[in-house]
Amino acid sequence: MPLITPSQAKAEYDVAIVGSGAGGGQMAYTLTLAGLKCVMLEAGRDYSPAAETPMFMRADNAPLRGATTPDKNFGYYDATVDGGWQVPGEPYTQASDKAEEQFWWWRTRMTGGRTNHWGRISLRNGPYDFKPRSRDGLGFDWPVSYADIDPYYTKVEMLIGVFGTNPGMENTPDSPAGVLLPAPKARLAELVAQKFGKKIGVPFIPIHRAVLTKALDADNIPQKLHPGNAWAQKIVADAMKGRSPCFWATSCGRGCSISANYQSTTVHLPPAMATGNLDLLSNAHVREVEVNKEGKATGVLYIDRTTGKEERVKAKAVVLAASSGDTVRILLNSNAGKNIANSSGLVGRYIMDTVGTSVEGQVPALENVPPHNEEGAGGAHTYAPWWGYKDQAAGKLDFPRGYHIELGGTRHMPSGYNPVADSFLEGSYGSRLKKDMRRYYGSFVEYDCRGEMIPNEKSYCEIDPAVKDKWGIPVLKWHWKWSEHELKQAAHARKTFTSLIETMGGKVFPDGLTKPEQYIEPGGKIIHEVGGAIMGADAKTSVTNAYNQTWDIKNLFLCDGSPFASNADKNPTLTIMALAWRAADYLIEQSRKGNL
């Protein structure tokens, strides 16, 4: 993949792809292997996990021992070298001064986007999740069903490599036999959660995560992904052979120099590079999509961040995959600030994030555990999918939809902090301190809610009329409001986590927060923002059709989370990739028919 300068760009490409993360990476992969000439515009710098990942550096050798800093939100080792909730020179504004109405907007400015540091949790949306309004009358139905997306989920899982099991649970879809990689063993705190979770009706099972537990079958998978295309099969096979299984030694959040976990930079882009059909423009801060008098996209206008100059790239079709917020920003700033693809008036509307809240505690049963190996994938090996469908159907719960539980509690290597709370070490020093550290280390647990948000009219973004970024581009202003549905869900989760810890014989750490408005995480804090350009079956009530194609501009596709019509409790990345692959197939077909 040539890393090009603006002057080296071709006169015109088949497709211009804005964004290099999950959606943009998937589009580049599918389109280039089909023979289309593409240019990818990345707002940040070029990034190579193989060259830059500090996989084997211990915390004591890192600045501040790896601790969090304002410009490194998840610590020194986080693979998001450039990006965070605040990006220098690129402000955003809030419509309200109230803390509970603030939106935290995460942006990544480097090749691969959020795929460099995400949790790799790869859950399929279920049948209920695509038709939620039909079930409870709230929000919107998607114009697609689970059956439509199922084959694309399977293809993405085979390509990126996902471990897990098939539990056969309600609205928690299984994958076809042989698709998932073997699940790693549960750690001690996870086994304890499984044991005591059963007593309160909470099922902890192996999670689905995009990490290789064994080498991919490079001899057979490429043929299934690209039947009849020997050229593409060889390219994909060679790329798969370059990936190594995880050796369970470092956090996935650092990135992965051996390509064991999924990142766009290590999975989608290498085969796209190998086709010779992809050019990459780094530091290309896109301002707008350009549209001609006939109403077709002709390319994009961007600022070269290294020179500050305004540049253009032309293409027969344009894909926006810049993240929901940035895609909305680009759409609203296009057409000299008069916006595009917005005949419905819904661009920027119905922004959603994942409902988050957590409870921590200490469990005496986990004290004085003999030293043992708890290395593994960069995150939990188990989780609890939503189990309350029957109670909701029976009217026993006061909120719709649901949440899954993610958990923490291991003896992993500390990084920049004391793994034992100070309150457990008061008065300890010398040999007593060592004894207390050994006693309590690993006895702390945390349970996190990851729940569904129903779209509402009070959660949206718009262009701020007064504020611009350092390149003179108008920025976004955010409006945010959790509804009673999410607040009641967070309250239920908090009670569940408290009950679980107490059932274990543990004690919850008091935090003094008594109201859901206090303990629900701010919008955007979970970094799952979706919506802003929802898909639908009617151009009057949606921005895109079922193929991520904007109703108003036939050769403009939105392939990040912006077209999501709802935000299920499942993490969105796998669905972004599945929808993008489907959109790419449709784009290829329509291009061949001359319909774009």
Question: How far apart (Å, rounded) are the C-alpha atoms in residues 165 and 182?
Answer: 7
Percent of the residues in the chain that have a pLDDT greater than 70, as a whole number: 100
- Residue 1: the pLDDT is 45
Tens of pLDDT, residue by residue over 130-147, are 999 999 999 999 999 999
For the segment 437-463, the average pLDDT, to the nearest whole number, is 97
CA distances from 542 to 353, 454, 459, 539 (A): 19, 16, 16, 5
Give the tokens for residue 293: 């008098």
What's the pLDDT at 373? Answer: 82
Asked if pLDDT for residue 277 goes beyond 50, the answer is yes
User: Quick check: 500 pLDDT over 50?
Assistant: yes
Q: In 234-268, which positions are buried (b, 16+ CB within 10 angstroms) versus exposed (e)? A: ebbbebbeebeebeeebbbbbbbbbbbbbbbbbbb
453 within 8 A of 354, measured Cβ to Cβ: yes
- How confident is the prediction for the chain on average, in pLDDT? 95
Return the amino acid letter for 231.
W
- pTM equals 0.97
Q: Quick check: 224 pLDDT over 70?
A: yes
- What would the pLDDT profile of 157-199 be if each residue is shown by its tens digit? 999 999 999 999 999 999 999 999 999 999 999 999 999 999 9
Residue that wins the pLDDT comparison between 252 and 325: 325
What pLDDT, on a 0 to 100 scale, did the predictor assign at position 167?
95
The per-type count for the chain, helices as H runs and strands as E runs, is: 15, 18
Higher-confidence residue of 570 and 57: namely 570
- What gap in Å lies between CA 548 and CA 558, rounded to an integer? 5
